[in-house]
Each structure stands twice: as C-alpha cells, then as structure tokens.
Amino acid sequence: MKDLKHLLYLENLLQDSNNDLVRMAKEKGEIAIGNVCYQIPEVLLNLPGSFSVRMRAPNTTSMEMGTYYMTSLTCEYCRAILERALEGSYQFLDCIFDPASCSQLADCMENIEELGLGNGEKFFVQHVDTPMKDDENGISHMTRMSRVRVLDKLLEVFGIDTSDAALRKSVELHNNVCGLITEMGQYRKLEKPTITGYEFAVFTLASYCCPKDLILPCLRETVEELKTRASDEKKSYRVRVVLAGSEIDDPTFIKLIEDSGAYVAADRFCFGSFPGRQQIILNDQEDVLTQICRENVTECQCPRYMNTSKINGRKEYLDKLAREYKADGIIFQQMNFCNFWGYERAGASHIISQEYQWPVLSVDRPYVVGNSGQLRTRIQAFVERIELKKAAGR
C-alpha cells in the first residue's frame, strides 16, 4: 500500500514525550498535564488552556534506577516511567494526575513526588481515588473525586476554566478526535484492510501523546487518504486477531505480531481505541461532569472493577469485538508483574477459550518487546494453530 502521508511524522513524534507538538503548545502558554491511566477522564485534562500528555518511556534501555527505588518485582511500565523521570524527561510537565488504579503506579508517582522530579514552579502530583464498582455509588464517588481532586485543583493552582461550558468544549474536541480515530478503525473490518494494525496504533497513540487540537489536522488528512487508498492486491495476513490486555504504548509490538502473520484487527488494551476513543454524547438533563464520569466508569474495561457484572462484561465485550472485527483468534497479553491484568489474563484467557470458543494465545511480556524471538515464535505457532483449525473445519 502507498505510505500514509503523516505516518513517519507521527512515528518521530512518538520517540520523545516532549515532542514538537507538546513544545508548540507549551510555547503558547498552555499547561501540560501528565496522564497515566484511563481512569482519570481525559477530557477533564484538556480544558481550554491545558492539554494532557500520555506518560510513556520510549526507547527505554536500562531501568536500573527505577528498579533501585521500586524493586525488580514491580511492573516494568512503572519502573520505566520512574527511570525516565529520574533522567529529567518529564520536566516539561506542569503537574501529574495519578488515579488509584494500582499500588505499583501509585508507588511510582509517590517517588516522583517525594524526589522532587518535577521542574515547574507550581508542579504537583495529585492522587485521585477511583471506584472499584460501576454502580451509582461508584459514579457518584468518581464525580466527587473528579471535582475536588482534579477540577478544583486545576482552578486553584493554574486558574483553568472548569465551568460546564469549558467541559462541553473539551468534550467536543475529544469527540472530534474520537470520531476520526473510529472512522480510521472501520477500514480494519475489510477483508483486505487499507490500514495496518501498526499504522492504526501509531495514530491512536499519537492522539494520547499530543495536544488534541494540534493533532487533528493529521487525523483529518489521513481519514481523507484512507477513502481512496488501495489495498495490496494480495492479502497481507494469514489470520486476524484481537489484541487484548494491559498497557501497550509501543506500536512495534503490534508490528512484531503482524510480521508474524496475524493482522491486529481490534485493540482492546489500555490506551488503545477500545475503550478510550469512543465519543461522549452529552444531554441537557444531567450536569456535564456527572455525564463524563458515568461514561468513564461504565465503559472502563480495567480489571480493577471487580463487581460481577463488570467481570463478566469484560469477556462479553471481547467476544463482541472479535465478532465485529471478524477475528480468527485473540491474543491476551499482560505486562510482567502487572497484578490486576495477571489475575485477569489467567481467568479470562481460559473462559474466552472454553466458553466462547475462541482460539487464545496468552502471554506475559516485558515493557520493551523489541524484536523478541521468543514472542515471535509463539505468535507464529498460534497463527499455524488457527490455520490448522480452520483447515479442519473446526
């Protein structure tokens, strides 16, 4: 297929957290807010005068200092983030909001706070308690925490407009980005897709890591490109898969999967498009903040939500995605030492295979995948297993 116009540009942007578009927004006087988890509603951080940046550690090699502070038995994502903070890579951030999503991430943020790794005059790390159930009490708690710990803090420290009008404007910007990402994702349903899973992952990740208003032109032009982009004459994959599980912020992992013969047709992982890139439809019957939090809590697919309906719903959600995107199998992955996704992967991969009858590959992986020969071999074997099953008519 013909190369997408903005792909190389966005690939280069993703090599640095403090990328060109972030610096451009900072030069305009906007507040840069570090974000580490879906459980802080993204639209609350992209109000007029502020923008969110997905915290990640591109090109990570050593994690020695992060390991020194957090031990070798903690999530590699958290250690990589702390390592990069110790190197000074996040000093462009004006603040960080940290949800109570997991204890290891909380430890990482506490180290950043206690070691004084922020550089801004008003820099702070704000810890936000988040619910573990998606019932009305959970939604009410999320709404209160979002008001007190997020919006009031931004207003108090930086004078950010947190009114209903400002929130609606942020939702509108969010919806513009999500609408374009969703439209791009529809081309993955084609028998001969006109966008690869890797390309889609680059555009989706860039929408988390760059100011929304500055990334919009790239997304709009790419959507127009895809309308006329011709697919390869020969089908470029052997099987189609849904990639599910914990945090993935390195598209090269998806490239490794696709180079092994499995087209990544849908992405149900943290900071992919499911969830995270669905539009928020507001009404006039309920206040805006409650609607935002309701959407966040009900759509969240994190295993931190432990009520029975959520636990069962995550399997149903994955089954629905696999059917909608015409998948042949599901790859369930988790970051090494990730507590929540470790438990989730062990149970869900078995249930998805036995009760929903999907071929499943279940793996744990390091934060930096690189060109892992072991993972490549396992994926290739999974592809062959699916092909044999299809050939046998099962």
Q: Could you report the per-residue pLDDT of 142-169, keeping only the tens digit for each?
A: 999 999 999 999 999 999 999 999 999 9
pLDDT at site 106: 93
CB 236, CB 211: distance < 8 Å: no
For residues 26 and 119, what is the distance between their CA atoms, to the nearest angstrom?
14
CB 349, CB 360: distance < 8 Å: yes
State the amino acid at position 298 in one-letter form: T
Q: Which residues contact 307 (CB under 8 A, 6 or more apart)?
A: 132, 133, 134, 135
pTM, two decimals, is 0.96
CB 204, CB 292: distance < 8 Å: no
CB 88, CB 59: distance < 8 Å: no
For residues 92 and 105, what is the distance between their CA atoms, to the nearest angstrom?
20
Q: What is the pLDDT of residues 383-392, one digit of tens each?
A: 999 999 888 8
E-assigned strand segments in the chain: 31-35, 50-54, 95-99, 124-128, 239-245, 262-269, 329-335, 360-365
Number of residues that this document lists for the chain: 394
State the amino acid at position 201 in one-letter form: A
pLDDT at site 3: 93
> Domain residue spans in the chain?
19-161
pLDDT at site 221: 98
Model confidence at 371: pLDDT above 80: no
For residues 23 and 211, what is the distance between their CA atoms, to the nearest angstrom?
10
Q: What is the pLDDT of residues 248-286, one digit of tens each?
A: 999 999 999 999 999 999 999 988 999 999 999 999 999
**CATH for 19-161, options being 3.40.50.1970, 3.40.50.11890, 3.30.70.20, 3.40.50.300:** 3.40.50.11890
Residue 394 pLDDT level (bands cut at 50, 70, 90): low
Backbone angles phi, psi at 334, to 5 degrees: -145, 150
Q: What is the pLDDT of residues 207-216, one digit of tens each?
A: 999 999 999 9
